[in-house]
Amino acid sequence: MFAINFNKTAMHIFYGKAALIDYLKPSKTNYSKIGFVPTMGALHQGHLSLIQQSMSENEITVVSIFVNPTQFNNLEDLEKYPRTLEDDLKKITSLSLKIIVYAPPIDDVYEGRPSSGYFNFDGLEDQMEGKFRPGHFNGVGTIVKRLFEIVEPTNAYFGEKDFQQLQIIKKMVRKKNLKINVIGCPVFRESNSLAMSSRNELLTPEQKKEASIIYKTLVDAKAKFKTNSATVTEKWVQKSFEKNSNFKLEYFQIADEEKLLPCMRKNKTKKYRAFIAVFFNNVRLIDTLSLN
């Protein structure tokens, strides 16, 4: 373990998996509950709330900070992804010195050139993010599986902003028979309702204000969907973004929460959700809202 000194305090930070696995061994033999919050850093209040939930439900909390190259299908996106380790550590320390951080270099996670395995998530991977970011969910599956093998958590916490990712990880855990509870936590929003995201760091305060139109559109779409079909609602959203040239809508989709399939005809027994991905100032933002 490396205990680093940070503002005259010490925290537990590991850069190598071998030392982390060793450190966690006694907790595993004691049957202590281990909570795990995987992140790519640039921590915001949404991440901190996941960490706090983990701390209240487990004896030990591990947070990973790793910008995973294999889940980016676009090199420019990977390069400009915010990396703010020092700041992230300050935020974690302000919550508790007991939190264990795993912040590995690439070669601690991937041997040789980083590459993804192939995963079958029963079609969940073919919709929305999967359509527009080919290979993304193979990258997510690869890294999350690897991190689960290292940390062996009891409970793992993921934000519902990435609802498709959450469903995919639940599916992976079921298919691989892993004894891990995957816990989804509600979207955290800025005061203007913009969904919190590490990518918001790439926007100025003014741009963040303007980007709140994304959530407003979701709320209006929810109202429209009450009395209209999914197709009518989707067309309405497309038209409203066409009028605003600062935004480039990548997709707006209404899908059922379980299989993530597009809603062709409303079915009262299903739960529906709106999913959106938009480029604003070359920053890709996603959001989601339950429609039930």
* Interface region with ligand PAF, contact rule CB under 6 A, candidates 6-14, 17-25, 38-46, 93-101: 38-46
Range 119-148, binding ligand PAF (CB under 6 A): 140, 143-144
Q: Residue 191 Cβ, how far from ligand PAF at the closest point, in Å?
A: 23
User: Does residue number 58 form part of the binding site for ligand PAF (CB under 6 A)?
Assistant: no
Q: How far apart are CA 153 and CA 58, in angstroms?
A: 10
Q: 162 or 234, CB closer to ligand PAF?
A: 162
Q: How far apart are CA 13 and CA 252, in angstroms?
A: 40
User: Does residue number 197 form part of the binding site for ligand PAF (CB under 6 A)?
Assistant: no
Q: How far apart are CA 186 and CA 184, in angstroms?
A: 7
Q: Residue 239 Cβ, how far from ligand PAF at the closest point, in Å?
A: 31
Q: Residue 139 Cβ, how far from ligand PAF at the closest point, in Å?
A: 8
Distance in Å from the first CA to the final CA of the chain: 47
Find the binder of ligand PAF among 27, 39, 116, 142 (CB under 6 A): 39
Residues ≥6 apart with Cβ < 8 Å to 192: 208, 209, 212
* Interface region with ligand PAF, contact rule CB under 6 A, candidates 33-41, 50-58, 215-223, 264-272: 33-41
**Which residues does the annotation mark as catalytic?**
47
User: Does residue number 40 form part of the binding site for ligand PAF (CB under 6 A)?
Assistant: yes
Residue 219 CB neighbours (<10 A): 12
Q: Residue 68 Cβ, how far from ligand PAF at the closest point, in Å?
A: 4
Site string for ligand PAF, 229-268 (x = CB under 6 A): ----------------------------------------
Among the listed residues 172, 184, 150, 175, the one whose alpha carbon sits nearest the alpha carbon of residue 34: 150
Q: Residue 91 Cβ, how far from ligand PAF at the closest point, in Å?
A: 15
User: Does residue number 160 form part of the binding site for ligand PAF (CB under 6 A)?
Assistant: no
Residue 3 CB neighbours (<10 A): 11
Q: How far apart are CA 116 and CA 134, in angstroms?
A: 12
Q: How far apart are CA 276 and CA 32, in angstroms?
A: 39
Which uninterrupted H or E stretch holds 265?
A: none
Q: 255 pairs with which residues across the strands?
A: 262, 273
Maximum CA pair distance of the chain?
A: 60
Q: 68 or 155, CB closer to ligand PAF?
A: 68
Q: 60 or 144, CB closer to ligand PAF?
A: 144
Residue 57 near residue 35 (C-beta atoms within 8 A): yes
Q: How far apart are CA 124 and CA 138, in angstroms?
A: 12
State the number of binding residues for ligand PAF (CB under 6 A).
10
Find the binder of ligand PAF among 27, 54, 68, 138 (CB under 6 A): 68
- Chain residues in the site for ligand PAF (CB under 6 A): 38-40, 68, 71, 140, 143-144, 162, 165
